[in-house]
């Protein structure tokens, strides 16, 4: 069914999200889980000689699911930070990202994060942007949704004023389902790097890091990157 690889070795359960384009999402036409993270994870498994079986779970349950050993690996554009490092081990960073404000095209009132006071801002439950809003923008009204696409749909139908989320996700959504109607505005608010997560002390961390480095050195990482983000 395309969800598992067969490299002849152990099979590990990989927890992922299915609502974070273009990193992990379900392709409408094929009905299959796909995206940059999914392809990178499969390539890592092949390189390291193990098999992966993906489980699509809610983003807010990912860290705890991995920290308790329910899943062997987690990959979902997960931002590496100190709070999460208390619960799980992270791989080396594999993608540089950060947060942005997004509004409907033509919105002249909101041009940067400074304009969000008193506005209703959508985000996702359990994300770094929900935390950013709570800490940095106490004057904004926050609407946190389990799926970030619900936030974008609320923006498109004028139920909320803005969305605060990861820049590559905003840009890809805008180009695809968003039909170009959603724009990222202002400066990138944070620098964040994504990493895969493992139960504390897991031997998989080292194996994954070694395989990731090989894929960076041999051009496979660049190929997968170019496919999803262009050159
Ligand atoms: N990078 C963000 C975080 O780690 C969002 C990831 C996601 O929605 N899958 O919180």
What value of ipTM does the predicted structure carry? 0.98
What does the pLDDT read at residue 55? 98
Angstrom distance (rounded) from CA 2 to CA 151: 30
Angstrom distance (rounded) from CA 21 to CA 96: 15
Judge if 197 and 180 occupy the same domain.
no
Q: Looking at the domain assignment, is residue 149 inside a domain?
A: yes
What is the average pLDDT value for the chain, to the nearest integer? 95
Judge if 108 and 63 occupy the same domain.
no
Measured from the Cα of 128, ligand 1's closest atom is 10
Judge if 89 and 200 occupy the same domain.
yes
Ligand 1 center from residue 211 Cα (angstroms): 23
Q: Looking at the domain assignment, is residue 199 inside a domain?
A: yes
Angstrom distance (rounded) from CA 66 to CA 49: 21
Answer whether 115 contacts ligand 1 (Cβ < 6 A): no
How far is CA 82 from its chain centroid?
17
CA dihedral (19, 22, 26, 28) in degrees, to 10, reads 120
- Residue numbers of the domain that contains 161: 99-185
Residue 213, pLDDT above cutoff 90 = yes
Q: Which two tokens stand for residue 226?
A: 């170019």
Q: Looking at the domain assignment, is residue 4 inside a domain?
A: no
Answer whether 100 contacts ligand 1 (Cβ < 6 A): no
Q: Where residue 120 sits, what CATH number does that domain have? A: 3.40.190.10
Residue 5's pLDDT band (cuts 50, 70, 90):
low
Domain total of the chain: 2
Ligand 1 center from residue 178 Cα (angstroms): 19
Judge if 71 and 140 occupy the same domain.
no
Q: Is the four-CA dihedral 193, 198, 201, 206 of positive or negative sign?
A: negative
């Amino acid at each position: 069914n395309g969800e598992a690889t067969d490299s002849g070795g152990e099979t590990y359960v990989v927890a992922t999200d299915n609502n974070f384009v273009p990193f992990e999402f379900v392709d409408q036409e094929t009905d299959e889980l796909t995206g940059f993270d999914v392809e990178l994870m499969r390539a890592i498994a092949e390189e390291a000689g193990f098999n992966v079986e993906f489980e699509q779970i809610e983003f807010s349950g990912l860290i705890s699911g991995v920290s308790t050993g329910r899943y062997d690996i987690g990959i979902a554009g997960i931002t590496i930070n100190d709070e999460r490092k208390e619960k799980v081990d992270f791989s080396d960073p594999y993608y540089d990202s950060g947060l942005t404000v997004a509004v409907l095209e033509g919105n002249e009132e909101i041009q940067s994060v400074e304009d969000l006071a008193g506005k209703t801002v959508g985000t996702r439950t359990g994300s770094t942007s929900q935390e950013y809003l709570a800490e940095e923008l106490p004057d904004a009204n926050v609407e946190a949704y389990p799926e970030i696409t619900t936030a974008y749909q609320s923006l498109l139908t004028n139920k909320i004023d803005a969305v605060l989320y990861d820049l590559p996700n905003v840009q890809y959504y805008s180009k695809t389902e968003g039909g170009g109607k959603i724009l990222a505005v202002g400066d990138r608010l944070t620098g964040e790097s994504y990493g895969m997560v493992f139960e504390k002390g897991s031997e998989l961390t080292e194996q994954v890091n070694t395989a990731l480095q090989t894929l960076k050195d041999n051009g496979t990482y660049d190929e997968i990157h170019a496919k999803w983000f262009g050159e």
